[in-house]
Amino acid sequence: MASGYLRVMTLLTDEKILVTGPASQVGFPVLEALAPRNEVVGLARFSRPEDRERVEAAGARCVAVDLADGDLSVVPDDFTVVLHFAVVKSGDFAYDLAANGEGAGRLMAHCRRARAFFHCSTGGVYAHRGPEAPAREGDPLGDNHRAMLPTYSISKIAAETLARFSARQWDLPTTIARLSVPYGSNGGWPWIHLQMMRAGQPIPLHPERPNIFNPIHEDDIVDQIPRLLEIASVPATVVNWGGEPASIEEWCAYMGELTGLEPKFSETEQTVGPLPLSLAFLNERVGRAQVSWRDGIRRLVEATAPELLGS
């Protein structure tokens, strides 16, 4: 376990914590860090047995429920903290709205005795803006990810709406964090780009260059959870969540330097456009991410493809 986990997660001890999406790229490192010091339950459909095995091996108990229509009576209702990372991207609007939108509301109603509820949203809820205008928390929302994920942005906006309503309805302190690009030894978008580089496949790139985002390493995700819980409020606190800005072009070029692989790009509008976030509120209330994107990308390659280094 990374030293950052040991340093920070001591702030969360002896809690009873529900983690949804516990085997996911974002949720699993958080669960893995929390489980040694807290009573942790992982909630998911667990359609893949290996996901259940992984979560249980980390020290958490598993409860299988589909948030779209599952019976929540099998889930305890006495959690002190809920970390809601679960997301569905099936492409079916009816199901994704039920699982992501209604599911958030049902979960908050069931867990309304918690001292804090954390809802992981996405920067993809913002309307398209281009590379020169970082989105602030009060900026217009829109169907940002339609080209790649037709239901994603709309169902995540629906989930935020249910989270806002439920925070007020149940007087449940809530944080809604609009996550940019998560990555680390557990995968992420840069990892997908690395696999495409390895296979000689062109990486889709929006013509509005540079394709800037705010990648955040899994160590910083884990590191910032305690403060994100501390700023939970009624009405819900909404905060952009990410690290220093970097473009797809930059991180692919750097992976090329590390591995000797040459990134190839294919310019198309049928992909997610640049989406830089303003992090002023995050940096003031939570703190700055500590892992630079170059250090994080190097660590990603070391963890997932060490055989490529020095080639």
- The residue to which tokens 């705010």 are assigned: 214
- The residue to which tokens 């709406």 are assigned: 161
Distance CA 68, CA 140 (A): 27
Residue 5: per-residue pLDDT: 39
24's enclosing H/E stretch is none
Residue 255: per-residue pLDDT: 98
Geometric angle at alpha carbon 168, from 165 and 170, rounded to 5°: 100
Burial class (CB in 10 A: 0-12, 13-18, 19+), 207: exposed
- CA-nearest of 234, 270, 264 to 252 is 264
Q: Would you call 86 helix, strand, or coil by DSSP?
A: coil
Q: Would you call 72 helix, strand, or coil by DSSP?
A: helix
User: Where do the H-state alpha helices sit in 103-145?
Assistant: 103-110
Could you tell me how far CA 142 lies from the centroid of its own chain?
19
The three-state (H, E, C) secondary structure of 155-191, written as one string: HHHHHHHHHHHHHHHHCCCEEEEEECCEEECCEEHHH
291's enclosing H/E stretch is none
Residue 132: per-residue pLDDT: 86
Q: Are 183 and 190 in contact (CB under 8 A)?
A: yes
DSSP 201-262: PPEEE-SSSS-EE--EEHHHHHHHHHHHHHT-BSSPEEEEE--S-EEHHHHHHHHHHHH-PP
Q: Would you call 303 helix, strand, or coil by DSSP?
A: helix
- CA-nearest of 145, 292, 116 to 206 is 145
Domains of the chain with CATH codes:
12-184+216-244+278-291 (3.40.50.720)
Give pLDDT tens digits for 116-125.
999 999 999 9
Phi, psi of 200 (to 5 degrees): 75, 20
Across the chain, which has 311 residues, the per-10-residue mean pLDDT values are 40 93 98 97 97 98 98 98 97 98 98 98 95 95 95 98 98 98 97 98 97 98 96 98 98 97 97 97 97 98 94 52
Q: Which segments of 53-173 are extended strands (E)?
A: 61-64, 81-84, 116-122
